[in-house]
Structures are given as structure tokens and as C-alpha cells.
């Protein structure tokens, strides 16, 4: 698996949403938002269509101004070339973990780090169009790190209303789907104060992502709370969080169906929309 503004009255929500649908952020020829350069992705078969059984998320009125959201695109493009850096142990909330990892990739070679950065940029553009201040934990897809403890510190220092770490999974080829990871109590107990809010954010994100993408909630992960939702205390980004924080694994890159989706720019835009919708729902309600 694995650089944030609040809302107007509810009555304006649907007008704003309609405006965004027709006047969204500009995109470059690769299909990514033009606000920041991003890694190129291979072509694909196109976007997924939400199924009739897909849950509908809570309505998402614009949050009040000044909210800060931190988006953490997992891994980085230079990690594979810097093993001495990314293997260095760092604090992880009561124990040590490697600074970072290289992430996974599709069988055709599309890397998780490129996927996560692309989706984070798209999500940032959607949130910024709604008046949210967005902070990314890394500015590009060619660097090394940052380490997992520094990613958490970025959100804590920013006083984020929510931090979302974006990933894709590398599970067995026969299973598919997305899942959201909420924090369990860290071994050192340091994240106790944000567990309840993080759990609410996880539910909002799960509903919104499923509705926007049609991706089924995964049932294969360990620590499964319910379909598409897990709870873990072995992830530094969640253990070290002092603000509400969640992870999302957007799909299984080793599964042929999910791989076709994650490599499609149109589907990545749907994924970004789902993440943005879940964040807006959480900010408005909580």
C-alpha cells in the first residue's frame, strides 16, 4: 500500500455542486489537473459505472471557510532508488517502522506512487474549488519519502480538520475492491483523542467513494470491521495522528478489473470525486 477550507449553508450545496459539474478545474492532455505536473499514466479502457446497489453518500454542503485538509499520496517515485533512506527506522507510535516503502504496481507496471499522486492532485483541485485549503505531504512524484512520521507531522502541524492517506493495494489477484482504514488505539496511546472522529470520517469516506466509483467494498483484508472498513494500529500515519485521520486503499492493483480502473484517467477522476465528497461530508457534519 502504501501539500487543506469549511461550509456555506446547506441550501447552497446543490447549486455549488451543479456549478462544479460544469465549471470544474482545468485538465491537461493526460487527464490530470493542470495545477501541478503529474506522472504520466498508461491508457485504459475508460471509467467504471456505479452499480445500482452502490450506497448513496450523505449530502455534502460546502464546509465553512478556513478548514485545512491534508492529503497524503502514498510512497514516492524516487523511493526505489534510495533504499538506505526508506529503510531507516522511524517512530511509529510505540514502535519503529521503515521510513517508507516503494508501494505496489499493476502487472503492466503502473506504479502505486503515480496513481496516488494523480488522485491526490485531482482531489485537491476539487476541494480547492469548494474553498478548502489543501496541503499535500509531497509536492511531486520524483522525490524520496517523506518518512511516515513526517507525513503524520505535516497534518498535525497544519491543525488539519482531516488527513486522508491515499493508497492502492497489492493483494492476491483473485480479490478486488476498496477499503478504508480507521485507526485503532496506538500501542503508545497517543492517538486516543482522535479515534472517534476518525471512525466517523471512515464511514463518510466509504459511502462516498463507493457511490462515486462503483467500486465494491473489499471483504478480503485482515482486521475487517465490515465490508470496506478495517481498523489498524500498525500504521504510523494513523498511530501518530493528533488530528482525525484515515487511509483509503482505492483498489487492488493486482486484480485485472481493478487494474483497468486505476490506470484509467476517467476512473481516477471518479476516485478523486469520491474522496472529496467523503471529506466534505465529514467536514460539514463533524
Residue 69 domain-assigned (yes or no): yes
Instruction: Specify whether the CB–CB gap between 161 and 5 falls below 8 A.
Output: no
Please, which residues bridge with residue 29 across strands? none
Residue 20 domain-assigned (yes or no): no
Q: Long-range contacts made by residues 26-31, C-beta under 8 angstroms, separation at least 24?
A: 30/265, 31/265, 31/266, 31/268, 31/269
CB contact burial 66-101 (16+ within 10 A = b; e otherwise):
ebbbbbbbbbbbbbeebeebbeeebbbbeeebbbbb
Residue 1 domain-assigned (yes or no): no
Query: What is the model's pLDDT at position 15?
Result: 37
Residue 118 domain-assigned (yes or no): yes
**Active-site residue flag, 249:** yes
Query: What is the model's pLDDT at position 132?
Result: 96
Residue 45 domain-assigned (yes or no): no
Predicted confidence pLDDT, tens digits, the chain (286 residues): 534 333 333 333 333 333 333 333 443 333 544 443 333 333 333 333 333 333 444 444 555 567 999 999 999 999 999 999 999 999 999 999 999 999 999 999 999 999 999 999 999 999 999 999 999 999 999 999 999 999 999 999 999 999 999 999 999 999 999 999 999 999 999 999 999 999 999 999 999 999 999 999 999 999 999 999 999 999 999 999 999 999 999 999 999 999 999 999 999 999 999 999 999 999 999 8
Residue 29 domain-assigned (yes or no): no
Burial (CB count <10 Å: 0-12, 13-18, 19+), residue 232: middle
Query: What is the model's pLDDT at position 66?
Result: 76
Residue 86 domain-assigned (yes or no): yes
Q: Give the CATH number for residue 62.
A: 3.40.630.40
Residue 38 domain-assigned (yes or no): no
Burial (CB count <10 Å: 0-12, 13-18, 19+), residue 134: buried
Domain extent, residue 168, equals 10-14+57-285
Task: Give me the catalytic one of 112, 128, 215, 249.
Answer: 249
Count of domains for the chain: 1
Query: What is the model's pLDDT at position 286?
Result: 80
Amino acid at each position: 500500500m502504501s501539500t487543506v477550507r469549511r461550509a456555506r449553508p446547506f441550501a447552497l450545496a446543490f447549486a455549488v455542486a451543479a456549478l462544479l459539474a460544469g465549471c470544474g478545474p482545468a485538465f491537461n492532455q493526460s487527464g490530470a489537473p493542470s495545477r501541478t505536473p503529474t506522472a504520466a499514466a498508461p491508457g485504459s479502457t475508460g471509467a467504471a459505472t456505479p452499480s445500482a446497489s452502490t450506497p448513496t453518500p450523505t449530502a455534502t454542503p460546502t464546509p465553512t471557510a478556513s478548514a485545512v485538509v491534508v492529503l497524503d499520496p502514498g510512497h514516492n517515485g524516487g523511493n526505489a532508488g534510495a533504499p538506505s533512506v526508506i529503510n531507516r527506522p522511524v517512530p511509529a507510535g510505540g514502535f519503529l517502522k521503515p521510513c517508507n516503502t516503494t508501494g505496489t504496481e499493476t502487472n503492466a507496471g503502473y506504479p502505486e506512487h503515480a496513481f496516488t499522486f494523480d488522485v491526490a492532485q485531482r482531489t485537491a483541485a476539487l476541494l480547492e474549488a469548494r474553498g478548502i485549503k489543501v496541503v499535500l505531504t509531497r509536492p511531486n512524484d520524483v522525490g524520496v519519502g517523506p518518512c511516515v512520521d513526517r507525513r503524520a507531522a505535516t497534518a498535525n502541524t497544519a491543525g488539519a480538520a482531516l488527513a486522508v492517506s491515499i493508497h492502492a493495494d497489492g493483494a492476491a489477484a483473485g480479490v478486488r475492491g476498496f477499503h478504508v482504514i480507521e485507526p485503532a488505539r496506538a500501542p503508545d496511546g497517543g492517538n486516543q483523542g482522535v479515534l472517534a472522529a476518525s471512525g466517523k470520517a471512515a464511514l463518510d469516506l466509504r459511502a462516498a467513494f463507493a457511490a462515486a466509483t462503483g467500486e465494491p467494498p473489499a471483504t478480503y483484508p485482515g482486521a475487517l470491521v465490515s465490508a470496506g472498513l478495517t481498523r489498524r494500529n500498525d500504521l504510523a500515519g494513523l498511530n501518530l495522528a493528533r488530528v482525525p485521520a484515515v487511509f483509503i486503499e482505492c483498489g487492488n492493483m493486482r486484480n485485472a478489473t481493478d487494474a483497468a480502473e486505476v490506470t484509467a484517467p476517467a476512473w481516477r477522476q471518479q476516485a478523486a470525486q469520491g474522496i472529496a465528497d467523503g471529506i466534505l461530508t465529514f467536514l460539514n457534519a463533524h
